[in-house]
A and B are shown apart, each in its own frame.
Chain A
Amino acid sequence: MSTKPIFEVADLAVSFANSAGGPRIQAVAGVSMTVHANQTLAVVGESGCGKSVTAMSAMQLIPRPPGRFDRGSMLFEGRDLLSMTETEMLSIRGGKIAMIFQEPMTSLNPVYTIGDQILEAIYLHQEARGAEAEKLAIQALREVGIPNPEGRLRMYPHQFSGGMRQRVMIAMALACQPTLLLADEPTTALDVTIQAQILELLRTLQRSRGMGIMLITHNLGVVAENADVVCVMYAGRVVEYAKVFELFENPLHPYTRGLFNSIPGLHDRKDRLTTVEEVVLDPKQYALPNPQLVPWWPDPPHGVRPETVAGRDEYVLVEVSPDRWVGCFNTAYAQSYPTRRPDLDFRRTDH
């Protein structure tokens, strides 16, 4: 049983002009993913792998120039976000699609009260005015668990702690009932207990509204706890795309394995984390269910790099087994392999 996704990224590529005058920097190079209603898609990967650029592209918040959308589409409710005009985007941003950021300490404007800022978003995207709008703002603050919301409305950001500010950010983002929430590392700046509370809160709000969440994070613990579907990104490409349990049980791409190996355990001592080089040089890591498919890697050592299809991008996302996608080298075999765009209508509660 599959429904239509609310948000569908197909073959997105974004590049930036190099200020030094060199070649363009390809931040995202052919990324595909989907988010369904009531689903959390976790996008994982190291810094600079294109996670945030993907999310910012959806809001058209990439400064252009230097940025540029090279190809691909981002369908939201059947319309391509990338080709929308600025005026159309104004009603999407904060209205249909909301975004929360990593730094709650600096994401609120210090010169306005919390109330002013939430009300501004409400005035912008909803019909409510005056006392009715204020009621909506209070309701939004109450939903994110802020005590005494009436009084808090008149307070300034500096009177809130980090966790509280992130709650306010979430309240602001959700005050206009968005159908898709882009959460760009929402808990990175918070301590562990607050982090758990915020994620729990997001889950509760998601369930009550049936909202889709794209959760960008570094933290595999957060992924294991919250995600339904995981998309692992590396160097601007999707290297693995799977249901959360399958990914954690059996990571297929060597980069994913490397990521899991890097998680520090409580009882084992690690002086060094697994480096990219170690992963690449270990042939065992390259074993995919189908040995003729070779996991894609930028600039792999000799002996690993297969003969790719001439004149084409050497990367292709292949459905190596049912509902598992791995980024592979674009060999003749990979070309002929039956595959489809990554799309998983799966929730952890289905398991």
Chain B
Amino acid sequence: MRGVGAARAKGFWADAWDRVIGRFGARLSLAWIGTIAFFAIFAPIIANAHPMFRTNTATGAVDSPLWTNLTSVDLVLLAGGLFALPWYYMPASWGARFGLRERGKRLGFLLLLAMQGGATVVLAGGVSAWSQHSESVQWIRDCAQSSAFPWIASTVVGVLVAVIASFIGAQCRARLLLVGLACVIAVSASSTRWSDRLVDFDTYDEQEAIGEYSMVYTLIPFSPSFGRSDIYVKPPMTQVGEAVPALADRPIGQRTMFLGSDALGKDVLAQMMWACRLSISIGLVSTGLSVLIGVTMGAIMGFFGGWVDLLLFRVVEIFMAIPVLFLLIVAAAVLPRNTYVMMGIIGCVTWTGAARFTRAEFLKLRKQDFVQGAQAAGLPLRSILFKHMLPNGVTPVLVDASFAVAAAVIAEATLSYLGLGPDGQASWGKLLSSATSTTGTFVWWLAIFPGFAIFLTVLSYNVLGEAMRDAIDPKLRKAAH
């Protein structure tokens, strides 16, 4: 690089990212979201009532109940979390060996792998639940009894997802290897953890009390599903043994509940940590889905115009008329109460914003010379729409998306507060609701901690959205100076 001002130019995204990250508020927000993401991934090995290791005092045999009780989702998240950082921060020369020199490309690839792993585990979980459901066809339930069934079913699901994943996105040298690796991890995770285990946490305490085993616990030896009726509604920094004299000489008596416990005797800190998973996934997945639908619809409307536009925009208007929260409440009554249904509903209803933004941008872009140039170069429509036009018009969608994530977090918290949230999952909204309803008195630690967590999360996404808008919109940028 020679000459005056011939510094190597940053790409559009790198430049926008630097502008976003240059703001103090945005940095704080990212730190908070990063913290949530960290707990979302690592909560099972930080807060768990299963002992990490247990040594049989008689035989000296060591096993890990924590490991055997991890669900397939936990495992895939952990694998992804451990893989992500070194993959993103590896030196460019190593990345070049995979054909992915730039970090941005590696990040994109990471997203793809995450989606692949997630889809495999979730679909396999769906197959598992369906095949064991009491209303399923008899021969399916018979098949599901066989010991090979989990392996066969999850392999079929995993291979199908992997085949689809290997066609999406940019091609690179290590693609098949990495997609294959993700497939193997997800398939083995879901087949070894095919059906739910019955968990009895009290056994551990019993075993340790009579000296049969010695246990090594994680940092916080509580799970969100672990509750004891004798330690209900204890304030923060309670030591179990001091608060309940009956437990003083049990091993559990030594534990401290840093943020107290709720009406069911569940540790608040453990619930707070595990709830990060719901909070981050509900926002990102539902918004991801809505952006995917919205951008595709908007791109088609904007590029083709005419009657296609006319027709599809009526669809957009129909969806704009649906109130999301009420739909979610109705769905909670008739559909299974789980996270995926909720994500699906939020994603399938809130895509209209992304569609309208994309449509407006594409209407503007399709007359641009470089789009015509791309056509004259013989590029296929897919490439023109999504490779050449989309990056030039996606920025308002991204800004909108970050506000949409916040809205989805609030929607989940609202539903959970109303007692209509996903079943069997820790949630900040659920904690918040137990602050008043069950005990009749106001329990401040059940209101303050989850309340602040929700507040900070929503604030972070909003601040990030603002920062992105300012970074991307040159008019606003000029006005700020």
Which A residues lie at the B interface, using CB under 8 A? 59, 61, 89-95, 98-99, 101-103, 106-113, 120-121, 124-125, 148, 151, 154-156, 158-159, 169, 172-173
Please name the 5 residue pairs, one residue from A and one from B, whose CB atoms are nearest each other, closest first. A93-B378, A94-B378, A94-B377, A99-B376, A106-B369
Judged by a CB distance under 8 angstroms, whether B388 is at the interface is yes
Give A160 to B282 CA distance when docked, in angstroms: 44
Give every chain B residue within 8 A of A107 (Cβ-Cβ). Answer: 369-370, 372-373
Check A113 against B376 for contact (C-beta < 8 Å): no
Give every chain A residue within 8 A of B11 (Cβ-Cβ). Answer: 111, 113, 156
Known contacts A103-B369, A106-B370, A148-B2; A111/B376 CB under 8 A: no
Check A93 against B376 for contact (C-beta < 8 Å): yes
Check B369 against A111 for contact (C-beta < 8 Å): no
Q: Could you say which of B2, B376, B392 contacts A61, with CB atoms under 8 Å apart?
A: B376
B300 to chain A, nearest CB (A): 15
Of B1, B375, B387, chain A has the most CB atoms within 10 Å of the CB of B375
Q: Could you say which of A89, A109, A120, A121 contacts B392, with CB atoms under 8 Å apart?
A: A109
Known contacts A148-B2, A156-B11; A108/B378 CB under 8 A: no
Check A111 against B372 for contact (C-beta < 8 Å): no
Check A125 against B392 for contact (C-beta < 8 Å): no
Judged by a CB distance under 8 angstroms, whether B368 is at the interface is yes
Judged by a CB distance under 8 angstroms, whether B314 is at the interface is no
Check B378 against A159 for contact (C-beta < 8 Å): no
Known contacts A101-B369, A106-B370; A156/B375 CB under 8 A: no
Give every chain A residue within 8 A of B369 (Cβ-Cβ). Answer: 101-103, 106-107
B111 to chain A, nearest CB (A): 19
Give every chain A residue within 8 A of B368 (Cβ-Cβ). Answer: 106
A50 to chain B, nearest CB (A): 18
Give every chain B residue within 8 A of A124 (Cβ-Cβ). Answer: 377-379
Give A159 to B12 CA distance when docked, in angstroms: 13
Check B376 against A108 for contact (C-beta < 8 Å): no
Judged by a CB distance under 8 angstroms, whether B323 is at the interface is no
A244 to chain B, nearest CB (A): 27
Q: Could you say which of B8, B12, B376, B387 contacts A94, with CB atoms under 8 Å apart?
A: B376
Give A148 to B9 CA distance when docked, in angstroms: 16
Listed A/B pairs (8) with beta-carbon separation below 8 Å: A90-B380, A98-B376, A99-B376, A106-B370, A109-B370, A112-B388, A156-B11, A173-B377
Give A93 to B368 CA distance when docked, in angstroms: 18
Judged by a CB distance under 8 angstroms, whether B391 is at the interface is yes
**Which chain A residue lies CB-closest to B390?**
A111
Known contacts A109-B392, A111-B12; A92/B370 CB under 8 A: no
B228 to chain A, nearest CB (A): 57
Give every chain B residue within 8 A of A154 (Cβ-Cβ). Answer: 8
Check A93 against B377 for contact (C-beta < 8 Å): yes
Give every chain A residue within 8 A of B8 (Cβ-Cβ). Answer: 154-155
A112 to chain B, nearest CB (A): 8
Which B residues lie at the A interface, using CB under 8 A? 1-2, 8-9, 11-13, 368-370, 372-380, 383, 387-388, 391-392
Give A120 to B379 CA distance when docked, in angstroms: 9
Check B378 against A101 for contact (C-beta < 8 Å): no
B310 to chain A, nearest CB (A): 14
**Which chain A residue lies CB-closest to B173?**
A130
A184 to chain B, nearest CB (A): 9
Give every chain A residue within 8 A of B9 (Cβ-Cβ). Answer: 155-156, 158-159
Give every chain B residue within 8 A of A173 (Cβ-Cβ). Answer: 377
Check A111 against B378 for contact (C-beta < 8 Å): no
Beyond A94-B376, A111-B11, list 10 extra A-B contacts (CB 8 Å). Answer: A89-B378, A93-B378, A101-B369, A106-B370, A109-B374, A110-B392, A112-B388, A124-B377, A159-B9, A169-B373
**Which chain B residue lies CB-closest to A156?**
B9
B398 to chain A, nearest CB (A): 13
**Which chain B residue lies CB-closest to A89?**
B378
**Which chain B residue lies CB-closest to A151?**
B1
A189 to chain B, nearest CB (A): 10
Give A74 to B374 CA distance when docked, in angstroms: 22
B178 to chain A, nearest CB (A): 18
Give every chain B residue within 8 A of A172 (Cβ-Cβ). Answer: 377
**Which chain B residue lies CB-closest to A90?**
B378
B377 to chain A, nearest CB (A): 4
A105 to chain B, nearest CB (A): 8
Give every chain B residue within 8 A of A92 (Cβ-Cβ). Answer: 378
Give every chain A residue within 8 A of B373 (Cβ-Cβ). Answer: 99, 101, 107-109, 169
**Which chain B residue lies CB-closest to A121?**
B377
**Which chain B residue lies CB-closest to A118?**
B377
**Which chain B residue lies CB-closest to A91?**
B378
Give every chain B residue within 8 A of A90 (Cβ-Cβ). Answer: 378-380
Give every chain B residue within 8 A of A106 (Cβ-Cβ). Answer: 368-370
Q: Could you say which of B13, B372, B391 contacts A101, with CB atoms under 8 Å apart?
A: B372
**Which chain A residue lies CB-closest to B2?**
A148
**Which chain B residue lies CB-closest to A147?**
B2
Give A113 to B11 CA distance when docked, in angstroms: 8
Check B376 against A59 for contact (C-beta < 8 Å): yes
Known contacts A109-B392, A111-B391, A113-B11; A94/B370 CB under 8 A: no
Known contacts A110-B392, A111-B391, A113-B11; A93/B375 CB under 8 A: yes
Of A89, A109, A121, chain B has the most CB atoms within 10 Å of the CB of A109
A107 to chain B, nearest CB (A): 4
Give every chain A residue within 8 A of B378 (Cβ-Cβ). Answer: 89-95, 121, 124-125
Give A66 to B253 CA distance when docked, in angstroms: 80
B67 to chain A, nearest CB (A): 42
**Which chain A residue lies CB-closest to B7?**
A159
Give A120 to B388 CA distance when docked, in angstroms: 11
Give every chain B residue within 8 A of A101 (Cβ-Cβ). Answer: 369, 372-373, 376
A252 to chain B, nearest CB (A): 34
**Which chain A residue lies CB-closest to B3?**
A148
A103 to chain B, nearest CB (A): 5
B18 to chain A, nearest CB (A): 15
B240 to chain A, nearest CB (A): 58
Give every chain B residue within 8 A of A120 (Cβ-Cβ). Answer: 377, 379, 383, 387
Give A159 to B15 CA distance when docked, in angstroms: 14
